[in-house]
Each structure stands twice: as structure tokens, then as C-alpha cells.
């Protein structure tokens, strides 16, 4: 991996390079996606089946687009029982963590006849998109479905691509069934997102769409936002390791490459105060790349978006960490808890040399759907909050309204909104 001395100029260059991966730069695909989305909106199932045959080579219709119970049972016969048990353990951890995020309605009343509050209501129907292209991601099924279940969402619909014979990945079906998905449809790409957003004869309209996807899925989600809610328009995966001279270079190198294998646009960055560590990590990454199965993808990722940044001191290193605002941040320093207190921007923070990023991807419990491309400065991980809505509650007796009525009338009239003022005034004529 390239080693760069950290200064203001190199930091700016790196930030500009990383931002090139943003979905906002995928304009060349927008017209294609727009045509697909509009076609689904107008022609519904007819268009959905057309694009499924065009892109997935599968001939589907209303009779076989929905995954049956028999297909799910068959999937279990082809998935190792030990793996099913591991999925169940992960579900327990994810559910336990997210249950601590639950919010409840509340009301405060005062003696003067005022009651204020907040009503928390789960979303009625949510659509979960699960990719089916380069790899199978049952972990993403769990991370998107379980918070919705914990929130109390009444109906969870999943769409995922099928192969040319109409089959869906066995692991995807098993994970969905274990997590509690209500219905699964064989639909992928931008056409699936449009179907969830607008509804077709086969797929019902949802209130919110969550889940990762390729460029076409990301653009489709952005286009339908407003008709439905979405989780985010996610960019490529990224990991950052903040380390000092106490870190194990072999561990650090392995962790950097764990994200680089996702795709060619993934980012892996080490920020360290130790030149010796920087050199050792660079050597170890080369050793790992030579033996890892996805070496071609890893090599492109590391060459384009991989960096080892050497800072003069830990304050400069932490400032850079906060500027880049990585999706995943590992802190491997002599006192990681103290270092963490100075970190403001990161999607998920992993502390110490035995809290590697894949622990969060699969098993620990916190959500692995995280803000990317610097959006950790203002976005949070997917959570139970994403599957609820809040309504404000206001109740005043006449005795409570009267003392403040003149203030409200004066406020309304200052804005030239005389009907607002009149609405209060008529109650005390």
C-alpha cells in the first residue's frame, strides 16, 4: 500500500479522491434508471416482468414472482445446519442490541390544563432490498429486517434477484425466514425499487425502502425518495484504522483488506503516528493479497483508494479521522477508550486489537448499515428509529389557552397571518 506523509495538501487530495466514489457522480446512469422507474410506475407488472427477463434472464409472471413456502423449505435442505444455528445466534445478538433503542410514547401534563406529548408509531409496511449479484449477503438481510421487527413494523416485504431458472440464493431465503420477513419477491435492480415505491399488481407499495444495492439500485432509491422514505443512498464500503506504535501490523493489514475485498471502489486507510508500523503494514498487506481469493478486487481497491497516512502526532491523526468520517473506524492505540473520546465522526467504532470490523458485520449486534462517503458527519447507523414515526400531541383547556391567547394573536399578526389570529380570537369573543 502507498505510504503518504500527512499534511494539509495530501489530506485534501485524499478527500477529493474518496469523494469521487459518491453516488452523486453516477450521472451517466441516471437516464437509464429514470426510464426504468417511470416504466414500472406506469406499466407495473408488465414492465417488471420485462426487465426481469432482460437483466436476470428469468421469465416470471404473477404466478411465480412470489417465493413459496416450499421454496423456502427446499433452501433449508441445502444450507448446513451449523450455519443456520450461527444465523440464529447472530439474530439474538442483533435483536438484543436493537431492543435497547426502542422509543415509547410519552405525555406530560400540568395543573393549568396543558398536556403535551409524543406518539410513537411503527411504519405499516417496509420493503427490504437484498442484492443477488457478485455475492450473497445474509448478514444484510438480518441487519435490515431485525430493527424493523423490533420497531413493530406490521409487514416486511423483501425483494431480491433470482437466477435464470427463477431460484433465489438459499442463504438469502433462510436468513429472511429466520429474521421474520413476511413475503419475498423475485425482483432485483432499479425495477424492484420502483415496484416497492409505486406498487404493481403483484408487489404492494411500501412506506420505506431499506437495503444495499449497486449503482442502479442507489440511483433508483434516490429517485423514488418522496414517494416513499429510504434509509440512505449508500456509497462503496470503507474502513479506517487509527493506530499507534503499539498496534500489531499483521492484524491491521488483515482488517484493512477485509473491506477492500467488497468491491474495486472500496476504501481502506490506515492513519498512524508510527513510520515503522506504516512500513510493516504495507509489507503485510502485500503478503495477504498474494494468497486471498478476491485478490483482483482487493488490488484495484488498494491501488485506487488505499492509503497509509503517517501523521506527526495523534492530534493530527484524529483530526484527519474526523475529516474523512469513515464508515468503519478501528482504534488500535495504547488507550483506545481515551482516543475514542476525541473522535466525532465515524459510522461504527471498534476498540482494541480484538474488535475487528467483521465482528460488527456479522455478529456483535450493532447494525452494519452505516453512513459512507463522509456522511457520518451527520448521519447515523440504521436503527429502530428508522422504522418509526413520531406525532406531536397538544392538548389545552380553555383556562390554559386564555392567558396566552393575546401572545399568539400578536405573533400571528406580525406574520400577516390574520386567519391564524382569528382562529384564536373567536374562542374568546
Looking at the DSSP bridge assignments, the partners of residue 209 are: 127, 230
Q: How far is CA 62 from the centre of its chain?
A: 30
- Give the pairing of strands 106-109 and 114-122: antiparallel
| 324 close to 347: Cβ distance less than 8 angstroms | no
Q: What are phi and psi of 296, to 5 degrees?
A: -65, -45
DSSP-based three-state secondary structure for 27 = helix
| 168 close to 174: Cβ distance less than 8 angstroms | no
Catalytic site includes residue 227: no
Sole residue written with cell 453516477: 26
Residues 6+ apart with CB under 8 A from 406: none
Residues 6+ apart with CB under 8 A from 356: 251, 254, 255, 258, 330, 350
Residues 6+ apart with CB under 8 A from 39: 47, 50, 51, 194
DSSP-based three-state secondary structure for 329 = strand
Catalytic site includes residue 328: yes
- Which of 328, 330, 353, 357 is catalytic? The answer is 328
Angstrom distance (rounded) from CA 410 to CA 396: 19
Angstrom distance (rounded) from CA 121 to CA 222: 25
Copy the grid coordinates of residue 46: 408488465
Residues 6+ apart with CB under 8 A from 197: 37, 205, 206, 209, 224, 227, 228
DSSP 228: B
Copy the grid coordinates of residue 234: 449508500
- Which of 327, 330, 353, 357 is catalytic? The answer is 327
Angstrom distance (rounded) from CA 22 to CA 20: 6
Nearest alpha carbon to residue 147 among 177, 126, 119: 126
Q: What are phi and psi of 149, to 5 degrees?
A: -65, -45
| 127 close to 161: Cβ distance less than 8 angstroms | no
Angstrom distance (rounded) from CA 121 to CA 111: 28
Q: Active-site positions?
A: 327-328
Amino acid at each position: 500500500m502507498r505510504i503518504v506523509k500527512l499534511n494539509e495538501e495530501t489530506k485534501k487530495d485524499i478527500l477529493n479522491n474518496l469523494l469521487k466514489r459518491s453516488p452523486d457522480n453516477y450521472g451517466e446512469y441516471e437516464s437509464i434508471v429514470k426510464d426504468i422507474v417511470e416504466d414500472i410506475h406506469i406499466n407495473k407488472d408488465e414492465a417488471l416482468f420485462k426487465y426481469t427477463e432482460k437483466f436476470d434472464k428469468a421469465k416470471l409472471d404473477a404466478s411465480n414472482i412470489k417465493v413459496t413456502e416450499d421454496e423456502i423449505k427446499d433452501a433449508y435442505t441445502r444450507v448446513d445446519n451449523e450455519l443456520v444455528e450461527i444465523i440464529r445466534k447472530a439474530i439474538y445478538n442483533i435483536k438484543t442490541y436493537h431492543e435497547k433503542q426502542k422509543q415509547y410514547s410519552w405525555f406530560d401534563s400540568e395543573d393549568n390544563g396543558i398536556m403535551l406529548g409524543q406518539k410513537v408509531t411503527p411504519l405499516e409496511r417496509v420493503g427490504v432490498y437484498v442484492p443477488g449479484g457478485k455475492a450473497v449477503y445474509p448478514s444484510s438481510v438480518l441487519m435490515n429486517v431485525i430493527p424493523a421487527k423490533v420497531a413493530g413494523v406490521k409487514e416486511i416485504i423483501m425483494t431480491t434477484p433470482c437466477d435464470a431458472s427463477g431460484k433465489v440464493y438459499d442463504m438469502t431465503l433462510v436468513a429472511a425466514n429466520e429474521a421474520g420477513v413476511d413475503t419475498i419477491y423475485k425482483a432485483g435492480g432499479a425495477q424492484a425499487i420502483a415496484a416497492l415505491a409505486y406498487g404493481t399488481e403483484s408487489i404492494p407499495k411500501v412506506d420505506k425502502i431499506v437495503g444495499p444495492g449497486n449503482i442502479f439500485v442507489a440511483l433508483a432509491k434516490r429517485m423514488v425518495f418522496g414517494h416513499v422514505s429510504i434509509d440512505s443512498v449508500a456509497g462503496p464500503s470503507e474502513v479506517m484504522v487509527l493506530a499507534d506504535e503499539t498496534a500489531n501490523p499483521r492484524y491491521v493489514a488483515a482488517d484493512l483488506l477485509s473491506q477492500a475485498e467488497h468491491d474495486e471502489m472500496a476504501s481502506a486507510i490506515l492513519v498512524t503516528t508510527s513510520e515503522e508500523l506504516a512500513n510493516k503494514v504495507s509489507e503485510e498487506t502485500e503478503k495477504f493479497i498474494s494468497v486471498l481469493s478476491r485478490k483482483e478486487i482487493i488490488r484495484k481497491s488498494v491501488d485506487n483508494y488505499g492509503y497509509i497516512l503517517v501523521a506527526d502526532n495523534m492530534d493530527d491523526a484524529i483530526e484527519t479521522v474526523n475529516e474523512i468520517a469513515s464508515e468503519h473506524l478501528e482504534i488500535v492505540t495504547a488507550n483506545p477508550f481515551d482516543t475514542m473520546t476525541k473522535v466525532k465522526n465515524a459510522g461504527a467504532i471498534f476498540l482494541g486489537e480484538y474488535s475487528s470490523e467483521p465482528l460488527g458485520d456479522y455478529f456483535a449486534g450493532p447494525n452494519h448499515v452505516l453512513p459512507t462517503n463522509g456522511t457520518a458527519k451527520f448521519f447515523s447507523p440504521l436503527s429502530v428509529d428508522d422504522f418509526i414515526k413520531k406525532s406531536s400531541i397538544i392538548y389545552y383547556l380553555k383556562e390554559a389557552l386564555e392567558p396566552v391567547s393575546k401572545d399568539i394573536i400578536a405573533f400571528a399578526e406580525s406574520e400577516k397571518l390574520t386567519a391564524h389570529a382569528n382562529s384564536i380570537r373567536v374562542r374568546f369573543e
